[in-house]
Amino acid sequence: MNAIGTGWAAENSTEIRRIRGIEVYSRIFELPEQDVPAAMSARVGSVFAEEAFAAAGGPAWAHPGLTARDRSIAIVAALAAQGVSGDRLTTHLRLAGNHGIGHDELTALMTLLANYIGYPYASAVMESVESSAESGLLVEDEQA
């Protein structure tokens, strides 16, 4: 379902935002849309899952001013700045790879960010970048 362009009120109704949010999380988790509500509820609880769907279904994930690649760079940078690691970071590194961001680009990003967010955060992300590259989650740089 694509609700963009149907008017402000319809585009931002609670149900439309929920549907778009489920679409977003379907892409993030690589799950069929019908499985997303149960997966998210198991992960963060049903109340928080519904809030996440409403947020993800808003204009941030649909705005044409950012490409999927732009969003991946921004999200990886934000997660790095917050010291997020583990599955959440790995999921977004995989998405970055799906959006054509390679090992060299992520290395350059973390090298730049190390000066702004600190070397401990940047180096922790680099460990995940290296692991993701070794496991094939990232595209080869010549393909990026």
**Residues 138 and 98: beta-carbon distance below 8 Å:** no
Residue with token string 């992960």: 43
pLDDT mean across residues, the chain: 89
How much is the pTM?
Answer: 0.81
> What's the pLDDT at 70?
96
**How much is the average pLDDT of 34-57?**
95
Compute CA 133 distance to the chain's CA centroid, rounded to the nearest angstrom.
Answer: 17
Alpha carbon distance 26, 19 (integer Å): 10
Lookup: tokens for 107: 């290395």
Interatomic CA distance for residues 23 and 25, integer angstroms = 6
- % of the chain residues with pLDDT over 90: 77
> With 0-12 CB in 10 A as exposed, 13-18 as middle and 19+ as buried, what is 15?
exposed
Model pLDDT, residue 2: 45
Looking up tokens 């999200």, which residue turns up? 75
Neighbours of 78 (CB within 10 A): 12
Q: Lowest-pLDDT range, 10-24, 28-42, 74-88?
A: 10-24
